[in-house]
Structure 1
Amino acid sequence: MTGRIPFSEMPAPKQAGILCNDPRFQTFAALRCGFPGGQFSASAAAEYLRTVCRIASRTALTTDTAARARFQALHTDFDAWTGRIAAPRD
């Protein structure tokens, strides 16, 4: 047993922190902000996430259910963009 917690079982603020440090998420965030071929830094990706989730701090994902739902939707969009899951149909 490694003692590692699966990503899906981590608290939302921890998930958000990991995502913001992921170069693929940084590219995804840059693309979503109109910078095709761009690469955000971790701090720019965090700002993007806070803007999309309408929060001042990632810790708000613990108590703000609407923000957590927006984060989950963003994470689903990212997973679809990376090909981890099928893209939702319109």
Structure 2
Amino acid sequence: MPPAQRAGILCNDPRFQAFAAMRTGYPGKTFLPSAAAEYVRLTCGVNSRRLLNTNSAAAERFAALLTEFDAHTGKIARPHR
């Protein structure tokens, strides 16, 4: 699945919306999909999620964001520090 499509689906996930709210300083809140999309755009340094398909640096930042979210939700193990 292309990164832009994955980002669109992710922004509609209530768990990701809560994660994005927490990461931006609003713990205990849940963002709407539009706010989650803005979080993805800001985090990845793009003005459109569509650019995740063509901008390799942004795609790498999105992949890192997905890894952080997967660790947050327990889908993957958190790295030991």
TM range (shorter): over 0.9
Larger relative contact order (Cα-Cα within 8 Å, sequence gap ≥ 6): 2
Aligned to 1:34: 25
Structure 2 counterpart of 1:14, from 5, 9, 19: 5
Does structure 1 residue 49 correspond to structure 2 residue 40?
yes
Structure whose CA Rg is larger? 1
Percent of aligned pairs with the same amino acid = 59
Deviations 1:41-67 (A, max 9, x none): 000000000000000001101110000
Structure 1: gaps (5+ residues): 1-9
Poorly superposed stretches of 4+, deviation over 2 Å: none
Aligned length: 81
Structure 2: gaps (5+ residues): none
Structure 1 counterpart of 2:58, from 64, 67, 71: 67
TM-score by length of 2: 0.97
Matched to 1:59, the amino acid is R
